[in-house]
Amino acid sequence: MKRVGIIGIGEYLPKRILTNQDLEKMVDTSDEWIATRTGIKERHIVSNGEATASMAEKAARHALEDAKIKALDIDLIIVATITPDMPFPSVASIIQHNLGARHAACFDISAACAGFVYALSIAQQFIACGTYKFALVVGAETLSAVTDWEDRNTCVLFGDGAGAAVLSEVSSGGILSAYLGCDGSRTDLLYIPAGGSRNPASKYTVETRQHYIKMQGNELFKIAVKTMTEAAEIVLKQAGLRFSDVDLIIPHQANARIILAVGKKLGIDEDKIFLNIEKHGNISSASTITALCEAVKGGRIKKGDIILLDAFGAGLVWGACVIKW
Ligand code: COA
Protein backbone atom coordinates (compact mmCIF):
# COMPACT_ATOMS: atom_id res chain seq x y z
CA MET A 1 0.00 0.00 0.00
CA LYS A 2 1.20 3.51 -0.83
CA ARG A 3 1.69 6.20 1.82
CA VAL A 4 -0.94 8.95 1.26
CA GLY A 5 -0.82 12.59 2.34
CA ILE A 6 -2.35 16.01 1.81
CA ILE A 7 -0.28 18.01 -0.70
CA GLY A 8 -2.47 21.11 -0.97
CA ILE A 9 -5.31 22.82 0.90
CA GLY A 10 -7.69 25.73 0.33
CA GLU A 11 -10.79 27.32 1.76
CA TYR A 12 -13.52 29.73 0.79
CA LEU A 13 -15.81 31.61 3.13
CA PRO A 14 -18.57 33.90 1.90
CA LYS A 15 -17.95 37.63 2.41
CA ARG A 16 -21.25 38.31 4.20
CA ILE A 17 -21.00 38.06 7.98
CA LEU A 18 -23.92 37.54 10.36
CA THR A 19 -23.04 38.58 13.91
CA ASN A 20 -24.67 37.64 17.19
CA GLN A 21 -25.91 41.24 17.35
CA ASP A 22 -27.67 40.70 14.00
CA LEU A 23 -29.31 37.56 15.45
CA GLU A 24 -30.50 39.54 18.49
CA LYS A 25 -32.73 41.43 16.03
CA MET A 26 -34.10 38.22 14.50
CA VAL A 27 -34.89 35.93 17.47
CA ASP A 28 -35.11 36.13 21.27
CA THR A 29 -31.40 35.64 22.02
CA SER A 30 -28.35 37.59 23.13
CA ASP A 31 -24.71 37.85 22.16
CA GLU A 32 -23.89 36.90 25.75
CA TRP A 33 -25.96 33.66 25.62
CA ILE A 34 -24.57 32.57 22.26
CA ALA A 35 -20.95 33.39 23.12
CA THR A 36 -20.95 31.72 26.54
CA ARG A 37 -22.97 28.62 25.51
CA THR A 38 -21.27 28.00 22.16
CA GLY A 39 -18.18 30.20 21.70
CA ILE A 40 -19.67 31.65 18.49
CA LYS A 41 -19.56 35.40 17.80
CA GLU A 42 -20.23 35.47 14.06
CA ARG A 43 -20.65 33.24 11.00
CA HIS A 44 -20.28 33.61 7.21
CA ILE A 45 -23.47 33.38 5.13
CA VAL A 46 -23.86 33.08 1.35
CA SER A 47 -25.08 35.99 -0.77
CA ASN A 48 -25.32 37.01 -4.44
CA GLY A 49 -26.35 33.62 -5.77
CA GLU A 50 -23.63 31.65 -3.97
CA ALA A 51 -24.38 28.01 -3.08
CA THR A 52 -22.47 24.89 -2.11
CA ALA A 53 -20.93 24.13 -5.51
CA SER A 54 -19.70 27.68 -6.11
CA MET A 55 -17.99 27.72 -2.71
CA ALA A 56 -16.62 24.20 -3.21
CA GLU A 57 -15.16 25.24 -6.56
CA LYS A 58 -13.40 28.28 -5.08
CA ALA A 59 -11.92 26.23 -2.22
CA ALA A 60 -10.85 23.55 -4.72
CA ARG A 61 -9.07 26.12 -6.92
CA HIS A 62 -7.04 27.31 -3.92
CA ALA A 63 -6.17 23.70 -3.01
CA LEU A 64 -5.06 22.90 -6.58
CA GLU A 65 -2.90 26.02 -6.64
CA ASP A 66 -1.38 25.07 -3.28
CA ALA A 67 -0.71 21.52 -4.51
CA LYS A 68 0.73 22.89 -7.77
CA ILE A 69 -1.28 20.48 -9.92
CA LYS A 70 -3.71 21.11 -12.78
CA ALA A 71 -7.42 20.25 -12.75
CA LEU A 72 -6.78 17.75 -15.55
CA ASP A 73 -4.46 15.79 -13.23
CA ILE A 74 -7.26 14.96 -10.78
CA ASP A 75 -8.50 11.37 -10.95
CA LEU A 76 -11.18 11.58 -8.26
CA ILE A 77 -13.39 14.26 -6.69
CA ILE A 78 -15.31 13.54 -3.50
CA VAL A 79 -17.48 16.28 -2.01
CA ALA A 80 -18.76 15.81 1.53
CA THR A 81 -21.97 17.80 1.96
CA ILE A 82 -25.45 17.63 3.44
CA THR A 83 -26.51 20.75 1.56
CA PRO A 84 -25.86 20.00 -2.12
CA ASP A 85 -27.12 22.52 -4.69
CA MET A 86 -29.90 20.01 -5.49
CA PRO A 87 -30.62 16.33 -4.64
CA PHE A 88 -28.83 15.30 -7.81
CA PRO A 89 -26.56 15.60 -9.74
CA SER A 90 -23.73 15.69 -7.24
CA VAL A 91 -21.80 18.80 -6.29
CA ALA A 92 -18.71 16.82 -7.32
CA SER A 93 -20.07 16.57 -10.90
CA ILE A 94 -20.85 20.28 -11.01
CA ILE A 95 -17.38 21.31 -9.87
CA GLN A 96 -15.70 18.75 -12.13
CA HIS A 97 -17.10 20.65 -15.11
CA ASN A 98 -16.39 24.12 -13.71
CA LEU A 99 -12.82 23.23 -12.80
CA GLY A 100 -12.21 21.43 -16.08
CA ALA A 101 -11.25 18.23 -14.25
CA ARG A 102 -12.69 16.01 -16.95
CA HIS A 103 -10.60 12.94 -16.08
CA ALA A 104 -12.01 12.71 -12.57
CA ALA A 105 -14.56 10.22 -11.25
CA CYS A 106 -17.00 12.15 -9.05
CA PHE A 107 -19.41 11.58 -6.20
CA ASP A 108 -20.77 13.23 -3.04
CA ILE A 109 -20.98 11.65 0.38
CA SER A 110 -23.37 12.43 3.23
CA ALA A 111 -21.72 12.06 6.61
CA ALA A 112 -22.77 15.41 8.09
CA CYS A 113 -20.13 17.03 10.31
CA ALA A 114 -17.82 14.02 10.00
CA GLY A 115 -18.09 14.30 6.21
CA PHE A 116 -14.61 15.62 5.52
CA VAL A 117 -12.93 12.93 7.64
CA TYR A 118 -15.06 10.25 5.95
CA ALA A 119 -14.23 11.59 2.47
CA LEU A 120 -10.53 11.87 3.30
CA SER A 121 -10.47 8.26 4.41
CA ILE A 122 -12.29 7.07 1.26
CA ALA A 123 -9.91 8.98 -1.03
CA GLN A 124 -6.94 7.62 0.91
CA GLN A 125 -7.98 4.05 0.02
CA PHE A 126 -8.11 4.78 -3.72
CA ILE A 127 -4.62 6.26 -3.71
CA ALA A 128 -3.12 3.76 -1.25
CA CYS A 129 -4.04 0.82 -3.45
CA GLY A 130 -2.86 2.55 -6.62
CA THR A 131 -6.21 3.07 -8.35
CA TYR A 132 -5.76 6.84 -8.55
CA LYS A 133 -2.86 9.28 -8.32
CA PHE A 134 -4.52 12.58 -7.32
CA ALA A 135 -7.79 13.03 -5.39
CA LEU A 136 -9.61 16.24 -4.54
CA VAL A 137 -11.58 16.05 -1.29
CA VAL A 138 -13.97 18.90 -0.48
CA GLY A 139 -16.19 19.71 2.50
CA ALA A 140 -18.77 22.35 1.56
CA GLU A 141 -22.02 23.51 3.13
CA THR A 142 -24.74 26.12 2.77
CA LEU A 143 -26.37 25.43 6.12
CA SER A 144 -28.08 28.83 6.01
CA ALA A 145 -30.42 27.33 3.38
CA VAL A 146 -31.71 24.67 5.81
CA THR A 147 -31.61 26.73 9.00
CA ASP A 148 -34.89 27.84 10.55
CA TRP A 149 -34.22 31.53 11.12
CA GLU A 150 -37.19 31.64 13.54
CA ASP A 151 -35.79 28.90 15.82
CA ARG A 152 -33.35 30.31 18.37
CA ASN A 153 -32.31 26.80 19.44
CA THR A 154 -30.60 26.18 16.11
CA CYS A 155 -30.23 29.38 14.06
CA VAL A 156 -27.43 30.75 16.22
CA LEU A 157 -25.23 27.73 15.58
CA PHE A 158 -24.64 27.30 11.86
CA GLY A 159 -22.71 28.98 9.04
CA ASP A 160 -21.63 28.49 5.42
CA GLY A 161 -18.27 27.77 3.81
CA ALA A 162 -16.02 25.28 2.05
CA GLY A 163 -12.59 23.72 2.35
CA ALA A 164 -10.63 21.40 0.06
CA ALA A 165 -7.58 19.17 0.11
CA VAL A 166 -5.57 17.46 -2.63
CA LEU A 167 -4.30 13.98 -1.77
CA SER A 168 -1.57 11.97 -3.42
CA GLU A 169 1.20 9.52 -2.63
CA VAL A 170 3.88 11.05 -0.38
CA SER A 171 7.36 9.83 0.49
CA SER A 172 7.09 10.45 4.25
CA GLY A 173 4.46 11.36 6.85
CA GLY A 174 0.89 11.66 5.53
CA ILE A 175 -2.21 9.96 6.93
CA LEU A 176 -1.04 7.59 9.66
CA SER A 177 -4.44 6.24 10.68
CA ALA A 178 -8.17 6.85 10.27
CA TYR A 179 -11.16 5.62 12.20
CA LEU A 180 -14.84 5.97 11.21
CA GLY A 181 -17.94 5.08 13.21
CA CYS A 182 -21.73 5.36 13.31
CA ASP A 183 -24.66 4.78 15.67
CA GLY A 184 -27.75 4.79 13.44
CA SER A 185 -30.13 4.38 16.37
CA ARG A 186 -30.17 8.13 17.13
CA THR A 187 -30.94 9.69 13.75
CA ASP A 188 -33.80 11.48 15.55
CA LEU A 189 -31.43 13.83 17.39
CA LEU A 190 -30.41 15.88 14.35
CA TYR A 191 -32.20 15.76 11.03
CA ILE A 192 -34.31 17.48 8.38
CA PRO A 193 -37.75 15.80 8.34
CA ALA A 194 -38.87 16.60 4.78
CA GLY A 195 -37.61 17.03 1.26
CA GLY A 196 -36.56 13.43 0.70
CA SER A 197 -38.50 10.37 -0.48
CA ARG A 198 -40.12 9.78 2.94
CA ASN A 199 -41.77 13.22 3.11
CA PRO A 200 -41.51 14.88 -0.30
CA ALA A 201 -41.96 18.64 -0.41
CA SER A 202 -45.59 19.72 -0.17
CA LYS A 203 -47.56 22.75 0.95
CA TYR A 204 -47.94 20.99 4.33
CA THR A 205 -44.21 20.29 4.80
CA VAL A 206 -43.39 23.89 3.94
CA GLU A 207 -46.07 25.35 6.22
CA THR A 208 -44.94 23.17 9.14
CA ARG A 209 -41.28 24.15 8.60
CA GLN A 210 -40.15 20.57 8.03
CA HIS A 211 -37.43 21.52 5.57
CA TYR A 212 -35.26 22.93 8.34
CA ILE A 213 -32.76 21.37 10.77
CA LYS A 214 -34.36 19.86 13.90
CA MET A 215 -31.99 19.23 16.78
CA GLN A 216 -31.95 18.01 20.38
CA GLY A 217 -28.87 19.97 21.40
CA ASN A 218 -28.22 18.93 24.98
CA GLU A 219 -28.60 15.20 24.23
CA LEU A 220 -26.16 15.57 21.30
CA PHE A 221 -23.75 17.51 23.46
CA LYS A 222 -23.17 14.56 25.81
CA ILE A 223 -22.83 12.01 23.01
CA ALA A 224 -20.45 14.30 21.07
CA VAL A 225 -18.09 14.61 24.05
CA LYS A 226 -18.07 10.85 24.67
CA THR A 227 -17.74 9.86 21.01
CA MET A 228 -15.07 12.39 20.03
CA THR A 229 -13.03 11.38 23.08
CA GLU A 230 -13.25 7.68 22.18
CA ALA A 231 -12.52 8.28 18.48
CA ALA A 232 -9.38 10.27 19.35
CA GLU A 233 -8.17 7.50 21.66
CA ILE A 234 -8.80 4.76 19.10
CA VAL A 235 -7.21 6.53 16.13
CA LEU A 236 -4.09 7.45 18.08
CA LYS A 237 -3.70 3.89 19.31
CA GLN A 238 -4.04 2.69 15.71
CA ALA A 239 -1.22 5.07 14.76
CA GLY A 240 0.93 3.74 17.61
CA LEU A 241 1.11 7.20 19.22
CA ARG A 242 0.32 8.83 22.59
CA PHE A 243 -1.46 12.11 23.28
CA SER A 244 1.88 13.66 24.24
CA ASP A 245 2.96 13.08 20.60
CA VAL A 246 0.10 15.22 19.22
CA ASP A 247 1.06 18.77 18.27
CA LEU A 248 -2.45 20.03 17.41
CA ILE A 249 -5.98 18.66 17.63
CA ILE A 250 -8.34 20.02 14.99
CA PRO A 251 -11.81 19.14 16.21
CA HIS A 252 -15.12 19.65 14.48
CA GLN A 253 -16.29 23.11 15.54
CA ALA A 254 -19.85 22.59 16.83
CA ASN A 255 -19.49 24.10 20.28
CA ALA A 256 -16.39 25.39 22.09
CA ARG A 257 -17.65 23.76 25.31
CA ILE A 258 -17.81 20.34 23.59
CA ILE A 259 -14.26 20.80 22.27
CA LEU A 260 -12.82 21.89 25.61
CA ALA A 261 -14.61 19.04 27.41
CA VAL A 262 -13.06 16.54 24.96
CA GLY A 263 -9.63 18.11 25.50
CA LYS A 264 -10.05 17.88 29.27
CA LYS A 265 -11.08 14.20 29.12
CA LEU A 266 -8.05 13.45 26.96
CA GLY A 267 -5.77 15.45 29.25
CA ILE A 268 -4.65 17.71 26.39
CA ASP A 269 -3.48 21.29 27.02
CA GLU A 270 -5.80 23.95 25.63
CA ASP A 271 -2.98 25.42 23.55
CA LYS A 272 -2.90 22.18 21.55
CA ILE A 273 -6.58 22.49 20.61
CA PHE A 274 -7.45 24.55 17.54
CA LEU A 275 -10.57 26.70 17.86
CA ASN A 276 -12.01 28.93 15.13
CA ILE A 277 -15.71 28.53 15.97
CA GLU A 278 -15.85 32.15 17.14
CA LYS A 279 -15.73 33.38 13.54
CA HIS A 280 -17.48 30.53 11.71
CA GLY A 281 -20.03 28.71 13.85
CA ASN A 282 -20.68 25.12 12.82
CA ILE A 283 -20.10 24.58 9.08
CA SER A 284 -20.58 20.81 9.23
CA SER A 285 -18.41 18.99 6.67
CA ALA A 286 -16.48 22.20 5.93
CA SER A 287 -15.55 22.63 9.58
CA THR A 288 -12.43 20.49 10.08
CA ILE A 289 -10.90 21.32 6.70
CA THR A 290 -11.35 25.08 7.04
CA ALA A 291 -9.92 24.82 10.56
CA LEU A 292 -6.93 22.90 9.14
CA CYS A 293 -6.43 25.61 6.49
CA GLU A 294 -6.52 28.35 9.10
CA ALA A 295 -4.18 26.49 11.44
CA VAL A 296 -1.64 26.13 8.61
CA LYS A 297 -2.09 29.75 7.49
CA GLY A 298 -1.72 30.97 11.07
CA GLY A 299 1.58 29.12 11.52
CA ARG A 300 0.13 26.67 14.06
CA ILE A 301 1.29 23.65 12.01
CA LYS A 302 4.82 23.03 10.79
CA LYS A 303 6.34 20.22 8.77
CA GLY A 304 6.55 16.99 10.74
CA ASP A 305 3.82 17.94 13.25
CA ILE A 306 1.31 15.30 14.33
CA ILE A 307 -2.25 16.53 13.70
CA LEU A 308 -5.40 14.85 14.93
CA LEU A 309 -8.70 15.57 13.15
CA ASP A 310 -11.72 14.59 15.26
CA ALA A 311 -15.35 15.02 14.13
CA PHE A 312 -18.89 14.09 15.10
CA GLY A 313 -22.28 14.74 13.51
CA ALA A 314 -25.80 13.76 12.47
CA GLY A 315 -26.29 10.09 11.77
CA LEU A 316 -24.86 9.81 14.35
CA VAL A 317 -21.45 9.53 12.73
CA TRP A 318 -17.94 10.20 13.86
CA GLY A 319 -14.46 10.03 12.41
CA ALA A 320 -10.89 10.76 13.42
CA CYS A 321 -7.65 10.84 11.54
CA VAL A 322 -3.97 11.22 12.46
CA ILE A 323 -1.78 13.05 9.96
CA LYS A 324 1.96 13.67 10.03
CA TRP A 325 2.24 17.02 8.28
N1 COA B 1 -30.71 32.24 23.06
C2 COA B 1 -31.17 32.26 24.32
N3 COA B 1 -31.65 31.19 24.97
C4 COA B 1 -31.63 30.02 24.30
C5 COA B 1 -31.16 29.91 22.97
C6 COA B 1 -30.69 31.09 22.36
N7 COA B 1 -30.22 31.08 21.11
N8 COA B 1 -31.27 28.63 22.58
C9 COA B 1 -31.78 27.94 23.59
N10 COA B 1 -32.01 28.77 24.64
C11 COA B 1 -32.57 28.47 25.94
C12 COA B 1 -33.43 27.24 25.92
O13 COA B 1 -34.73 27.57 25.49
C14 COA B 1 -33.39 26.80 27.37
O15 COA B 1 -34.31 27.58 28.09
P16 COA B 1 -35.20 26.93 29.24
O17 COA B 1 -34.20 26.42 30.26
O18 COA B 1 -36.02 28.08 29.72
O19 COA B 1 -35.97 25.83 28.59
C20 COA B 1 -31.98 27.21 27.81
O21 COA B 1 -31.51 28.17 26.85
C22 COA B 1 -31.00 26.06 27.88
O23 COA B 1 -31.13 25.25 26.75
P24 COA B 1 -30.22 24.01 26.52
O25 COA B 1 -30.59 23.39 25.23
O26 COA B 1 -30.22 23.13 27.73
O27 COA B 1 -28.79 24.73 26.42
P28 COA B 1 -27.38 24.08 26.29
O29 COA B 1 -26.49 24.60 27.32
O30 COA B 1 -27.43 22.60 26.06
O31 COA B 1 -26.88 24.74 24.90
C32 COA B 1 -26.64 24.08 22.61
C33 COA B 1 -27.59 24.48 23.72
C34 COA B 1 -27.44 23.77 21.38
C35 COA B 1 -25.72 25.27 22.34
C36 COA B 1 -25.78 22.87 23.05
O37 COA B 1 -26.60 21.89 23.62
C38 COA B 1 -25.00 22.24 21.93
O39 COA B 1 -24.11 22.86 21.36
N40 COA B 1 -25.28 20.99 21.63
C41 COA B 1 -24.60 20.23 20.62
C42 COA B 1 -25.06 20.64 19.30
C43 COA B 1 -24.30 19.96 18.24
O44 COA B 1 -23.22 19.50 18.46
N45 COA B 1 -24.89 19.93 17.06
C46 COA B 1 -24.30 19.48 15.89
C47 COA B 1 -23.66 18.17 15.99
S48 COA B 1 -22.37 18.24 14.89
Can you give the three-state secondary structure of the chain, one letter per residue? CCCEEEEEEEEECCCCEEEHHHHHCCCCCCHHHHHHHHCCCEEECCCCCCCHHHHHHHHHHHHHHHHCCCHHHCCEEEEECCCCCCCCCCHHHHHHHHHCCCCCEEEEECCHHHHHHHHHHHHHHHHHCCCCCCEEEEEEEEHHHCCCCCCHHHHCCECEEEEEEEEEECCCCEEEEEEEEECHHHHHHEECCCCCCCCCCCHHHHHCCCCCCEECHHHHHHHHHHHHHHHHHHHHHHHCCCHHHCCEEEECCCCHHHHHHHHHHHCCCHHHECCCHHHHCECHHHHHHHHHHHHHHCCCCCCCCEEEEEEEECCCEEEEEEEEC
Domain boundary among 122, 154, 171: 171
Residues 13 and 159 in one domain: yes
Predicted pLDDT of residue 322: 98
**Active-site residue list:** 113, 252, 282
Q: Give the model's pLDDT for residue 312.
A: 97
What's the CA-to-centroid distance between 217 and ligand 1, angstroms?
A: 6
Residue 48: predicted pLDDT: 87
Please state the pTM of the whole predicted model. 0.96
The predicted pLDDT at position 171 comes to 96
How many domains is the chain partitioned into structurally? 2
Q: Domain of 156?
A: 4-171
CATH code, 142:
3.40.47.10
Q: Are 203 and 253 in the same domain? A: yes
Residue nearest to atom 3 of ligand 1 (CA): 29
Same-domain pairing of 113 and 198? no
What was the pLDDT predicted at 128? Answer: 97
Find out whether the beta carbon of 220 lies less than 6 Å from any atom of ligand 1. Answer: yes
Ligand 1 centre and the CA of 156: distance in Å? 10
227 lines ligand 1 (CB under 6 A): no
Whether residue 318 has its Cβ less than 6 Å from ligand 1: no
Residues of the chain with pLDDT under 50: none
* Last residue within a domain, chosen from 136, 171, 206: 171
**Ligand 1 center to 33 CA (angstroms):** 9
| Judgement on whether residues 161 and 193 belong to the same structural domain of the protein | no
For residue 224, give the ligand 1 atom closest to its CA. Answer: 44
pLDDT in tens, 75-129: 999 999 999 999 999 999 999 999 999 999 999 999 999 999 999 999 999 999 9
